[in-house]
Amino acid sequence: MKNTRQKGIYYERVVCKILEEQGYTTCRAQWKPLYIKGRLVLIGADIHGCDIVAIHPNKKPYFIQVTCSSNIKQKLQTLTSQPFNLQTTDVALWQYSKQNSCFIIYKLNPDYTTSRSTLPVKLSDYTKTKNQL
């Protein structure tokens, strides 16, 4: 992949696929085209600081920020500054770790502490259907 934007979009699609396999319906934030002085610039349009909103019929709405960056502290600060009611909504940061081949999931708890878990992922399972992602 050429740049971090492409990596981010790819990992967002993988996370959507994982959640859809678990019965969620997902919606990704879309890039918005903007012309500045005749040049096309793509601006990210996050949903309350998140890339994905996932809805499951039997679970709370799930807001997810996906990253492959190592700057987790700043990303978590962005999420905690958003107006989420953590009693009725799940919010998490999914960080892809290339060296461990897994997503590290930092979930915000109702008291705004974080709990950490890992989800091993074999990316080759998701690249086979790359056009469908």
> Does residue 130 carry a pLDDT above 90?
no
DSSP for 72-123?
Answer: HHHHHHHHHTS---TTT-EEEEEEEETTTTEEEEEEEPTTS-EEEEEEE--T
47-105 residue pLDDT tens = 888 999 999 999 999 999 999 888 899 999 989 999 999 999 999 999 999 888 899 99
The CATH number of the structural domain formed by 4-132 is 3.40.1350
Order of strands across the sheet with 90-97?
A: 25-28, 52-55, 62-67, 90-97, 102-108, 114-120
With CA atoms as reference, report the closest residue to 28 among 42, 16, 44: 16
pLDDT in tens, 9-24: 899 999 999 999 999 9
For the stretch 80-83, contacts whose Cβ atoms lie closer than 8 Å and that sit 24 or more positions apart, written own/partner, are 80/108, 80/112, 81/49, 82/48, 82/49, 82/50, 83/48
pLDDT at 21: 95
Q: Quote the CA–CA distance of 106 and 103 in Å, as a whole number.
A: 10
Give the per-residue pLDDT at 64. 96
Position 131 pLDDT exceeds 70: no
